[in-house]
């Protein structure tokens, strides 16, 4: 299965308009934003667990990272409420479940084999840092090689400088409305911009976005 695997193309998808697709496990559904492979795939998805659902124990050969968008996700290592970012490195294993149900933004099989750091960050309680322009706050989540991952909060009326993305950029709009000269992207939008793409982003209403940069070089 191949979905949005041409990394030279700019993509903007409103995930709220997508249908849920059943996974092999009852009670676990997905919206597939990008996918290269079948059940074992390099993938970016929104995953919904119904209350009381679980997934079989499995290994992440090329890693996994996710942001809990709502509810509480669980595995044998802990509980991860809404706003928690988790990075499980290549070779890690776990058995996911949830008692109350949850929704996640998930990326699979995109890490370098030497990226062996496990991260668990509660973004609701971790300090944010001032960004490069007034009104911008940044919470770094992970970095490895040229790849950087962060949450970025835009106060209403914040405008950023025009810039290019060496190694590309990927954005998921967690809340609010993100914008640039190419369009307007409310909560639930997923954007992927190729290596050396350029834009001038801003937010009139304010927003919070999950951002990855510098990770699309190998696929360009």
Tell me the per-residue pLDDT of 115-142, one tens digit each, with 9 for 90 and over.
888 999 999 999 999 999 999 999 999 9
Q: Give the start-to-end residue ranges of the domains of the chain.
A: 2-6+18-122, 129-213
Query: What pLDDT does 178 receive?
Result: 98
Nearest CA to 53 out of 88, 98, 23 is that of 98
CA dist 29 and 32 (Å) reads: 10
pLDDT one digit per residue (tens) for the chain, 220 residues: 898 989 899 999 999 999 999 988 899 999 999 988 777 778 899 999 999 998 888 888 888 999 999 999 999 899 999 999 999 988 888 899 999 999 999 998 887 778 888 999 999 999 999 999 999 999 999 988 888 999 999 999 999 999 999 999 999 999 999 999 999 999 999 999 999 999 999 999 999 999 999 888 754 3
* Residues 164-182: tens digit of each pLDDT: 999 999 999 999 999 999 9
CATH for 2-6+18-122, options being 3.40.50.300, 3.30.1540.10, 3.40.50.2000, 2.60.120.10: 2.60.120.10
2-6+18-122 and 129-213, same CATH topology: yes
2-3 vs 28-37, strand pairing mode? antiparallel
Nearest CA to 116 out of 66, 170, 75, 61 is that of 61
Query: What pLDDT does 109 receive?
Result: 80
Query: What pLDDT does 112 receive?
Result: 78
CA dist 23 and 213 (Å) reads: 29
Whose tokens are 């009104």? That residue is 135
CATH for 129-213, options being 3.30.70.1290, 3.30.70.20, 2.60.120.10, 2.40.170.20: 2.60.120.10
C-beta of residue 170 within 8 angstroms of C-beta of residue 211: yes
């Amino acid at each position: 299965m191949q979905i949005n695997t041409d990394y030279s193309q700019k993509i903007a998808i409103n995930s709220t308009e997508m249908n849920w697709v059943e996974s092999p496990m009852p009670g676990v559904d997905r919206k597939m934003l990008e996918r290269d492979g079948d059940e074992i795939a390099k993938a970016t998805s929104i995953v919904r667990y119904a209350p009381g659902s679980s997934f079989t124990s499995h290994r992440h050969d090329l890693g996994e990272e996710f942001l809990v968008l709502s509810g509480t996700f669980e595995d044998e290592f802990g509980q991860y409420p809404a706003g928690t970012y988790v990075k499980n490195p290549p070779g890690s294993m776990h058995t996911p479940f949830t008692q109350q149900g949850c929704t996640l933004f998930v990326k699979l099989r995109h890490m370098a084999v030497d990226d062996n750091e496990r991260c668990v960050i509660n973004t609701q309680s971790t300090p944010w840092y001032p960004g490069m322009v007034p009104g911008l706050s940044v919470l770094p989540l992970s970095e490895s090689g040229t790849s950087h991952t962060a949450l970025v909060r835009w106060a209403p009326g914040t405008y950023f400088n025009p810039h290019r993305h060496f190694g590309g950029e990927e954005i998921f709009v967690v809340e609010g409305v993100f914008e640039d000269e190419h369009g307007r992207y409310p909560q639930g939008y997923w954007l992927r911009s190729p290596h050396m793409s350029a834009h001038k982003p801003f937010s009139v209403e304010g927003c919070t976005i999950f951002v990855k940069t510098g990770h699309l070089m190998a696929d360009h």
